[in-house]
């Protein structure tokens, strides 16, 4: 949703003569994006638009459909001008911006405005004046927990650009892997990356690809904790001298760098200076989260160092470490970014805090005078619905920030932690929900209508596929594989209303680690299951007006609910057969059984309500008992229609 949109009259009809001109001071990439725009418009409409490739120095078309003008080239940096004005009239579309970055954003808006009717494709007349609410609108991708090849990153950069996001935060180092080539210390990637890492050439390609889409790349080197993979090749950096191997478990680990040795800082100086030369952005992330301090506490030389230097606790010791990092980064012209934990009175204010533990942390940072951005509430690895993330505002009134403190809130980042995703499934955890977060960070604060968001998210989700994103197509592919190609329709009916368990429950339910398969039913299912959401909504809607007259919409809603429940219920015999034939999905047999029971009592409840008769108390308690059983996850997957059916049962009382 743009900052403002003023509808005009008429529409711009698209035909084979559609043409684009580019004028003003534009960066080279504007031609590429304008060309992409034309290919995408071609692709979506099937209209063979005849204009040649759009390139610098091309001859301008005789009659112009879309006139692009940018005043300045602009420079890719925090706070760059991304505003634009898009005016569509029946004869001409004009896109004007102060900088090339605004042009890129405006082209995406224009593609979103494409509409169709039986006569063809068109843009409705409108004047859009748009600018972002926050300057930092990021997505964290974590190729350290599970390796993600370059093409995964590139297609997600395209997805980000489509949603006007502007920071790709790469979490490059972890206990489970070191994913960037270091020429200075090659054992970091050779031993720490086990063969899976980005070469410096590949990183340059990622940075260039992102920059051409107005996206900054901020690398994260997470230290002093979360650093086991560093120690495999360079154990001398560790607090506890021992042999280290790549971590296979998920969680908070004990290995930690030694902040008391000069050798640690010499190493980090060389390494971070090398990385500062590779990553052009002014910001560099040093992590700093979840250092449990165990190895520090058990080391006599650390205790001695703390006593000698009058350091009262581990937080203060880490602040001393961070101060040294701050010097190294400053020397290289970099601003330091870190998680909440790096906040400490001894640390200068020219750093950015990334708040992950809560909005209180964000407020505390802003009140202490630090620039800050929000990730708490945007943890897309936790499988929460888009509506939850959408309503999570970086600046809720409750924080009680002054207008000066509010200015320190730069925006936020969705975080796609990599424990439970692979190259095959990651897109389905990022998209389409991240579109809702992107809107939260771009659009005015009062744009908060959930129904409108979901309606638009559904459209965006399909458009995102034109970049090769796999959130839709891999779903069917994975289901197909689970049943060896036989019974995918039956399996999909269950998968459509199932979701992976939420938050960190998956770790508690099974013996997960980095080498386990992520190809099971749970991995095929997706967050915010649309079919379940629509069913629950339909139930709610139908019950709301059940005391009213027997109007048509009410009858239609009853019919739709009956058909849906009946469809689900009648699927079950075939579904059991599919499950029996494929051992990899035996674990979801109880889920299918619960689906059968739930849909049966759902149909019964529907009849009680329709006939306006009260259900016997014994039936109510039996039926609610079925719901309780159906709330249990199986194969780390849960049924998402339980609440809708429980609502039907409660309405029979």
Residue whose CB is less far from ligand ACM, 253 or 561: 253
DSSP code, position 342: G
Instruction: Please identify the residue of the shown chain whose CB is closest to the bound ligand ACM.
Output: 289
The one-character DSSP state at 51 is: P
* CB 355 to ligand ACM: min, Å: 10
The residue (of 51 and 415) whose beta carbon lies closer to ligand ACM is 415
Query: Is residue 290 near ligand ACM by the rule CB under 6 A?
Result: yes
| Smallest separation (angstroms) from ligand ACM to the CB of 377 | 12
User: Are 215 and 206 spatial neighbours (Cβ–Cβ below 8 Å)?
Assistant: no
Does residue 507 belong to the site contacting ligand ACM (CB under 6 A)?
Answer: no
Contact call for residues 122 and 115 (beta carbons, < 8 A): yes
| Choice between 339 and 390, CB closer to ligand ACM | 339
413 among known catalytic residues: no
**Long-range pairs for 253-256 at CB < 8 Å and ≥24 separation?**
253/175, 253/225, 253/226, 253/228, 253/292, 254/292, 254/294, 254/295, 255/175, 255/225, 255/227, 255/228, 255/231, 255/295, 256/224, 256/225, 256/227, 256/291, 256/293, 256/295, 256/296
Residue 207: CB minimum distance to ligand ACM, A: 23
Beta bridge partners of 169: 140, 218
Enumerate helices (H) and strands (E) in the chain, giving the number of each.
Answer: 26, 19
What are the Cα distances from residue 193, in Å, to 143, 245, 251, 454?
10, 11, 19, 39
Report residue 1 as tokens: 């949703």
Within residues 326-365, the interface with ligand ACM by CB under 6 A covers: 339, 356
Binding mask 43-82 for ligand ACM (x = CB under 6 A): ----------------------------------------
In the bound state with ligand ACM, the residue whose beta carbon lies nearer, of 6 and 249, is: 249
Cα dist. 469→238, 389, 426 in Å?
40, 21, 10
Of 194 and 290, nearer to ligand ACM (C-beta) is 290
Alpha-carbon span 92 to 103, nearest angstrom? 16
Q: How many residues bind ligand ACM (CB under 6 A)?
A: 4
* Residue 468: DSSP 8-state: T
Can you read off the two tokens belonging to residue 309? 């230097």
Residue 140 CB, shortest distance to ligand ACM, in Å, is 9
Q: Look at residues 381, 181, 141 and name the one whose alpha carbon lies nearest to residue 285.
A: 141
Cβ distance to ligand ACM smaller for residue 106 or 255: 255
Residues in the chain: 653
Residues 574-633 that bind ligand ACM (CB under 6 A): none
Residue with tokens 């965006």: 460
Q: What are phi and psi of 536, to 5 degrees?
A: -60, -40
Q: Which helix (H) or strand (E) holds 638?
A: strand 637-639
Q: Which lies closer to ligand ACM via its Cβ, residue 70 or residue 376?
A: 376
Region for residue 9 given its phi and psi (left: phi exceeds 0; alpha: psi -120 to 50; beta: otherwise): beta
Do 606 and 566 contact (CB within 8 A), yes or no? no
Measured from the CB of residue 222, what is the shortest distance to ligand ACM in angstroms? 8
CA distance 430 to 416: 7
Tokens of 385: 């619905």
Q: Which of 190, 194, 290, 647 is catalytic?
A: 290
Closer of 305 and 378 to ligand ACM (Cβ):
378
**Min CB(215)–ligand ACM separation in Å:** 21
Between 120 and 358, name the residue whose CB sits nearer to ligand ACM. 358
Does residue 144 sit in helix, strand or coil?
coil
- The dihedrals phi and psi of 311, each to the nearest 5 degrees, come to -100, 120
Tell me how far, at minimum, the Cβ of 189 lies from ligand ACM, in Å. Answer: 23
CA–CA separation, 66 and 277 (whole Å):
39
Which residue blocks in 286-402 are alpha helix, DSSP H?
A: 294-297, 300-308, 314-331, 359-367, 386-390
User: Closest separation between CB of residue 292 and ligand ACM, Å?
Assistant: 11
Site string for ligand ACM, 626-645 (x = CB under 6 A): --------------------
Out of 190, 289, 472, 587, the residue judged to bind ligand ACM by CB under 6 A: 289
Q: Indicate whether 221 belongs to the interface with ligand ACM (CB under 6 A).
A: no
Nearer to ligand ACM, 140 or 605 (CB): 140
Closest contact distance (angstroms) between CB of 253 and ligand ACM is 12
How near is the Cβ of 259 to ligand ACM at its closest, in Å? 19
Catalytic site residues? 290
Contact residues: ligand ACM, CB under 6 A: 289-290, 339, 356
């Amino acid at each position: 949703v743009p900052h403002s949109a003023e509808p005009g009259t008429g529409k711009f009809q698209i035909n084979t003569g559609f043409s684009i001109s580019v004028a003003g001071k534009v960066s080279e990439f504007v031609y590429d994006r304008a060309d992409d725009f034309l290919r995408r418009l071609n692709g979506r409409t099937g209209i063979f638009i005849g204009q040649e490739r759009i390139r610098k120095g091309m001859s301008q078309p005789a009659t112009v459909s879309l006139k692009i003008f940018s005043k300045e080239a602009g420079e890719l940096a925090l706070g760059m001008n991304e505003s634009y004005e898009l005016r569509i009239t029946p004869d001409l579309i004009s896109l004007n911006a102060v900088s090339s970055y605004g042009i890129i954003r405006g082209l995406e808006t224009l593609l979103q405005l494409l509409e169709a009717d039986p006569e063809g494709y068109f843009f409705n007349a409108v004047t859009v004046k748009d600018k972002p609410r926050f300057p930092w609108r990021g997505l964290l991708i974590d190729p350290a927990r599970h390796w993600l090849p370059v093409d995964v990153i590139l297609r997600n950069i395209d997805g980000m650009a489509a949603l006007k996001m502007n920071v790709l935060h790469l979490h490059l180092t972890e206990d489970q892997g070191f994913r960037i080539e270091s020429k200075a210390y090659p054992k970091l990637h050779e031993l720490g990356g086990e063969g899976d890492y980005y070469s410096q050439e590949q990183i340059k390609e990622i940075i260039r690809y992102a920059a051409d889409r107005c996206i900054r790349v901020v690398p994260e080197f997470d230290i002093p904790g979360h650093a086991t993979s560093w120690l495999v090749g360079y154990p001398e950096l560790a607090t506890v001298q021992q042999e280290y191997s790549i971590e296979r478990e998920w969680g908070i680990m004990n290995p930690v760098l030694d902040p008391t040795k000069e050798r640690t800082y010499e190493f980090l100086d060389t390494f971070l200076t090398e990385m500062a030369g590779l990553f052009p952005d002014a910001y560099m992330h040093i992590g700093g989260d979840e250092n449990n301090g165990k190895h520090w506490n058990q080391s006599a030389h650390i205790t001695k160092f703390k006593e000698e230097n009058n350091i009262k606790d581990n937080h203060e010791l880490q602040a001393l470490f961070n101060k040294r990092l701050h010097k190294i980064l400053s020397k290289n012209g970099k601003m330091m970014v870190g998680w909440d934990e790096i906040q400490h009175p001894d640390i200068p204010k020219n750093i950015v805090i990334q708040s992950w533990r809560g909005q209180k942390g964000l407020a505390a940072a802003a009140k202490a005078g630090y620039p800050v951005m929000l990730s708490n509430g945007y943890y897309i690895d936790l499988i929460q619905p888009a509506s939850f993330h959408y309503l999570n505002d970086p600046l809720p009134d409750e924080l009680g920030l002054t207008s000066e403190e509010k200015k320190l809130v730069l925006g936020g980042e969705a975080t796609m932690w990599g424990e439970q995703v692979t190259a095959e499934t990651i897109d389905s955890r990022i998209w389409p929900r991240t579109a809702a977060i992107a809107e939260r960070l771009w659009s005015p604060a009062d744009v908060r209508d959930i129904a409108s968001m979901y309606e638009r998210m559904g459209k965006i989700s399909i458009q995102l596929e034109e970049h090769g994103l796999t959130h839709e197509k891999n779903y069917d592919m994975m289901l197909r594989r689970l049943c060896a190609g036989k019974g995918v329709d039956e399996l999909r009916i269950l998968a459509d209303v199932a979701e992976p368990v939420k938050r960190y429950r998956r770790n508690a339910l099974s013996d997960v680690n980095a080498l386990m398969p992520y190809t099971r039913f749970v991995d095929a299912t997706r967050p915010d299951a649309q079919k379940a959401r629509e069913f629950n909504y339909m139930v709610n809607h139908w019950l709301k007006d059940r005391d009213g007259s027997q109007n048509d919409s009410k009858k239609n809603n009853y019919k739709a609910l009956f058909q849906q429940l009946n469809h689900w219920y009648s699927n079950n015999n075939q579904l059991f057969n599919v499950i029996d034939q494929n051992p990899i999905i035996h674990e979801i047999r109880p889920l299918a059984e619960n689906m059968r029971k739930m849909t049966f009592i759902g149909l019964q409840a529907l009849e009680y309500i329709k006939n306006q008769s009260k259900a016997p108390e014994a039936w109510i308690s039996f039926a609610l008992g079925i719901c309780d059983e159906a709330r249990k996850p199986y194969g780390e997957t849960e049924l998402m229609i339980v609440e809708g059916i429980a609502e039907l049962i409660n309405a029979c009382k």
